[in-house]
Amino acid sequence: MTNEYLAPFVDELFRLGVREAVFSPGSRSTALAMLFEEYKKYDTYVNIDERSAAFFALGIAKAQQRPVVLVCTSGSAAAHHFPAVTEAKMSRIPLIILTADRPSELQFVGAPQTVDQTRFFGTFVNHFEMLEAPQETHYWTYPRKVAQRAVLAAIDHLAGPVQINIPLRDPLVPALLPENYTYGRSSHPFQIARGRMSASINPALIGERTLILAGPNIETSAHEALLQLSEKLNAPLLADPLSNMRNYGHPHIMDSYDAFLSNVQLKKELKPDLIFLFGQMNVSKRLQQFIALHEDVPFIQVDPALDYRNPSQTTSYMVQSDIKNFVTSLTVTNAQTDYLDRWQAAQHKMRQQLDLVAAENQPFEGHFVQKLQTLMPENGQLLVANSMEIRDVDYWWKKEDSEVTLYGNRGVNGIDGTESTALGLSTTGRPTVLLTGDLSMLHDLNGLIIGKTHKLNLTIVLFNNDGGGIFHHLAQKGVPHFDYLFSTPHGLDFAGLAPLTGLDYHEIKGDLDFEKCLIQAVNTPGMHVLEIKTNKALSLALHQKYTEYEI
């Protein structure tokens, strides 16, 4: 027998709920790829670029909320997974990474395509294990136990990636016998009952000025519970766009706080006496500065995992709990509305000013973000790239009753892998849009290949300001060598992607053109790029015009 023991491993992963597998071509991973494909129950994808493949798998796992298998060959291949692995770790996205390897006798002897893959991703995985060729007595059962441990580690309360390193000997092509998949199955199938922890806090902590932060990656099932909590405590709920809590028109929800928290006097007046954090910390830098300003205020982080997620470093209470159970266990209420009223007044005034961008007739990102929100298809998905795009969405994506789901890679906040992640999301079949800048787009052009080879559907709204526009908003603006080191103009023509990848390209010329092209793109199969050319200096001036707040 050669590599047939991997068949029960493939079977066990499926029995535990894994449904998708992403491969990159390679010789050493032959047995893995063939056995997954021959099983005929997985949705499988082939991506020739390992870096893109990893972000593609990340996108699927985000959308499906379950582990996705990622397979690569030996040598440098796994190194290309690293950017997506770090993102998965920090965003708690379950990936099961199967790294094919040379056997032990070919290690450290100069064999080609061979490096030490032991614990290759270091602390960025929840679990590492070697799946060696088993002894005869455990030939069919041992691989199932490895699969079980991999899934358990990937979906733990602190979900994340797992690496299983698999040394394989020649011959690499396995025997594709259907019965091999069934060997080693227990008469009592392995089952996972996930705990839903509940914890409470001292009611005396809760006063009349409670603030609730709803950050990225909050489960949709917890949304109603957080709204109930805000009602119980008459507390403003600061909804990050990636929390998807802006999908409610609830009066307690704040969506313009990053803008009005620029006002020094208002930041002092809005001092809370208690802060709750659910999910990751909100994108807003001004909110983080607001928290740091009031470092003496009790800060309670509620999370199913004991994982510190407050970069302001002011957390005073860590509560390990499921959100719904926590809200149910909290019986204290607050009848006073003065604090909420003050936040609502600032929210109303700021939102009115931000909404003036609808009449802006110059090419400005904020204007098109607002237009995009009105045009997104029902039940659509929007992946927002990092850098300036997520900040533009934070300002101009407002609360309203909606079924649109927003995603972002906010674990390590990198600009890589955006096209691949978006294409992974698109495998759900839901209308999918990517909002990205030009540098993020350039970082992942290879990601478009799997969109072409697998005939996936994606509409890309591309803001092109010819370089790093975000640096015009940061402290680097005006320093020596600014353009060369930070603004980095490239002068590339994205229209060239059309003949290269077969996608549909269109340069947008105004509102009516954008509306027509976006509606057509999301309803037409294939990949589409709608490019909106903007100017860094003009965008900075318009951003300041619409976001400055005065009492």
Contacts of 533 (CB under 8 A, 6+ apart): 363, 464, 465, 507
Q: Is the pLDDT of residue 12 over 80?
A: yes
Query: Out of 3.40.50.150, 3.60.15.10, 3.10.150.10, 3.40.50.970, which CATH number does the structure's domain 360-547 have?
Result: 3.40.50.970
What are the pLDDT digits (tens) for 397-430? 999 999 999 999 999 999 999 999 999 999 999 9
Distance, CA of 461 to CA of 88 (rounded, Å): 24
- Say whether pLDDT at 550 is over 80: no
Query: What is the widest separation between alpha-carbon atoms in the chain?
Result: 77
Please say if the pLDDT value at position 474 is more than 90. no
Predicted confidence at residue 306, as pLDDT, reads 85
Distance between CA atoms of residues 163 and 100, nearest Å: 10
Domain segments of the chain as ranges: 6-169, 203-350, 360-547
Cα distance between residue 323 and residue 275, in whole Å: 15
Cis status, amide bond into 25, omega within 30 of 0: no
- Under 8 Å between Cβ of 426 and 457: yes
Residue 435 near residue 389 (C-beta atoms within 8 A): yes
Burial (CB count within 10 angstroms: exposed 0-12, middle 13-18, buried 19+), residue 31: buried
pLDDT at 478 exceeding the cut of 90: no
Q: What is the pLDDT of residue 186?
A: 87
Q: How far, in Å, CA of 192 to CA of 164, rounded?
A: 20
DSSP 486: I
**DSSP type of residue 524:** S
Q: What's the confidence (pLDDT) of residue 468?
A: 84
pLDDT of residue 188: 83
CATH classification number, 203-350, choose in 3.40.50.1220, 3.40.50.720, 1.10.260.40, 3.40.50.2300: 3.40.50.1220
Q: How much is the pTM? A: 0.93
Tell me the pLDDT band of 187, cut-offs 50, 70 and 90.
confident
Average pLDDT, the chain: 95
> Does 124 have pLDDT greater than 60?
yes
pLDDT tens track for 192-249:
887 778 888 888 889 999 999 999 999 999 999 999 999 999 999 999 999 999 999 9
**Count of beta carbons in the 10 Å neighbourhood of residue 453:** 13
Q: Is 101 helix (H, G, I), strand (E, B) or coil?
A: strand
Overall residue count recorded for the chain in this entry? 551
Q: Residue 528: which H helix or E strand, with range?
A: strand 527-533
Q: What's the mean pLDDT in 133-151?
A: 93
Residue 1: predicted pLDDT: 54
Residue 543 has pLDDT above 60, yes or no: yes
Question: d(Cα 24, Cα 452) in Å, to the nearest integer?
Answer: 15
Q: Which of 242, 213, 177 is nearest to 383 (CA)?
A: 242
Report residue 371's pLDDT band, with 50, 70 and 90 as the boundaries. very high
Name, in order, each residue with C-beta under 8 angstroms of 52's C-beta and a sequence gap of 6 or more: 417, 419, 420, 444, 446, 447, 449, 450
- pLDDT of 551: 66
Say whether pLDDT at 507 is over 70.
yes
CA distances from 230 to 212, 283, 299, 332 (A): 7, 20, 16, 12
421-431 pLDDT tens trace: 999 999 999 99
**pLDDT of amino acid 254:** 98
CATH number at 6-169: 3.40.50.970
Pick the more confident residue, 44 or 472. 44
Same fold, 6-169 and 203-350: yes
